[in-house]
Amino acid sequence: MTEVIIAGIGQTPVGEHWDVSLRDLALKAIQAALKDAGGIKPQSLFVGNMLAPTLSNQAHLGGLISDYAGMTGIEAMTLEASGASGGAALRQGYLAVASGMTDVALVVGVEKFTDVIGSDIEEAIATETDSDFEAMQGLTTTAQAAMLMRRYMYEHNVSANGFANFALTAHANGEGNPNAMFRKAIKAETYAKAEPVSPPLNMFDVAPNADGAAALILTRRELVQSIGSSPLVKIAGSASSMDTLAMHDRKDMLFFDTAQISAGKAMKQAGVILDQIDFFEYHDVFSIYAALQLEAVGFAIKGQGWKLAADGGIGLKGKIPCATMGGMKARGFAGGASGVYQAVEAVNQLRGQAGKNQLAGARLGLIQSLGGPASTAVSHILSVA
């Protein structure tokens, strides 16, 4: 298959953009990506979005955004896979270029949570669960994560503050990300005193819902415009996997099979092993998800993902640096845009443009986005070309 290069990246700050429309957020990210790529013209647009039909009363985002960006006539469509929507859009853009069917693909992830306030947001997010057997019974995604975390703590004898370092690491890294929603480090005692959201989850175990957009330009190596002295970054591996929607249908609720399968396939395609991965951008919308991803991918054995974090193993100087620009916990959870933000941040790391959060000698990064509690998992290996 054709080698796929990420020629341009763009992003908006993540936050509460009350005064900016969905289409304007997307356009800002697109313009930045096009400029970064030297003005190369896309033939295809893939939009990752989770909840615009519900929260923004707007579907058909492919048509809306291509029109607003002055790209009428191109192929354009929306991909929805809950929180993995951005990752799914990136995978489709990758496949379009890798297959030779598209020369240049534009991938955009965009979400606006602030178009709706209060409990309506939780109701909308709950549509990622099995409606008949979970959401209809009043289960929210936060309550579901809380039950997973409580079961995990029981089975593996984890203390109340055992997950603290996921939040501490994210916020420490978010301090160095100018586009993060929260750019201030927190202390262990701050975590310990935090208000409960859905016990045992406290406010630092839950990523904040936020608005944002991120974009990527994908193309073949020979079409890449000059990007100065920065190294080229390619997508070396891409894979997606699906599990049951309802948690009660799984053999083991405390093991994310899809995270293991998709990461394994992506690494096999890239021809790399786990020890070669320099950093991991996981889907830390809840602390328990981060722990379960570390175990499923293989960075920690089952029941020890929390301990890898507690021992400092996920920090910028740890065994496997994670959430290097703050992750979803500090950057903010921008729904269907999250997977594209992960890719943009990984490209910055591999180009050597991550500022104070730069990892020395980073050449391989794994990014993984989840739809719900790993009902869908999309994994990509990004590397210096």
Model pLDDT for residues 347-373, shown as the tens digit of each residue: 999 999 999 999 999 999 999 999 999
The answer on 66 and 185 residing in a single domain is: no
**How far apart (Å, rounded) are the C-alpha atoms in residues 346 and 364?**
9
DSSP-derived secondary structure letter, 99: T
Same domain, 108 and 140: no
Q: Give how far the C-alpha of residue 175 lies from the chain's centroid of Cα atoms, to the nearest Å.
A: 18
For 369, list phi and psi in degrees, rounded to 5.
Answer: -115, 145
Query: Of 191, 223, 255, at which residue does a domain stop?
Result: 223
Q: Read off the pLDDT of residues 100-136 as tens digits, 9 standing for 90 and up.
A: 999 999 999 999 999 998 888 989 999 999 999 999 8
What beta strand segments (E) does 206-248 contain? 212-219, 233-242
Radius of gyration of the chain (CA): 19
Examine residue 192 and state whether it is found in any structural domain, yes or no.
yes
Q: pLDDT of the chain along its 385 residues, tens only?
A: 799 999 999 999 999 999 999 999 999 999 999 999 998 999 999 999 999 999 999 999 999 999 999 999 999 999 999 999 999 999 999 999 999 999 999 999 999 999 998 888 989 999 999 999 999 898 999 999 999 999 999 999 999 899 999 999 999 999 999 999 999 999 999 999 999 999 999 999 999 999 999 999 999 999 997 656 689 999 999 999 999 999 999 999 999 999 999 999 999 999 999 999 999 999 999 999 999 999 999 999 999 999 999 999 999 999 999 999 999 999 999 999 999 999 999 999 999 999 999 999 999 999 999 999 999 999 999 999 9
**214 shares a domain with 302:** no
Residue 47 is assigned to a structural domain of this protein: yes
Q: Per the domain annotation, does 188 fall within a domain? A: yes
The CA distance from 330 to 342, in Å, is 13
Q: Are both 91 and 145 inside the same structural domain?
A: no
Domain count, the chain: 2
Rounded Cα–Cα distance for residues 95 and 269 (Å): 13
- If asked whether residues 143 and 65 sit together in one domain, one would say no
Same domain for 281 and 366, yes or no, is yes
pTM of the entire predicted model:
0.97
Residues 160 and 27 in one domain: no
Q: Which domain holds residue 43?
A: 4-117+209-223
In a domain, 36, yes or no: yes
Answer yes or no: do 313 and 329 share one domain: yes
> Residue 248 sits in a domain of what CATH number?
3.40.47.10
State residue 119's pLDDT score. Answer: 85
Residues 268 and 318 reside in one and the same domain: yes
Identify whether residues 348 and 292 lie together within a single domain. yes
**Residue 202 to residue 211: CA distance in whole angstroms:** 22
**What six digits make up the tokens of 142?**
């936060």
Same domain, residue pair 18 and 42: yes
Domain boundary residue, one of 223, 258, 276: 223
Give the residue from 199, 223, 247 where a domain finishes. Answer: 223
Q: CA-CA distance, 45 to 71, in Å (whole number)?
A: 9
Task: Tell me how far apart the alpha carbons of residues 103 and 127 are, in angstroms, rounded to a whole number.
Answer: 35
**CB neighbour list of residue 20: distance below 8 Å, 6 or more residues apart:** 28, 211
208: Cβ contacts below 8 Å, ≥ 6 apart: 181, 182, 332, 333
How far is residue 288's CA from residue 325's CA, in Å, rounded to a whole number? Answer: 19
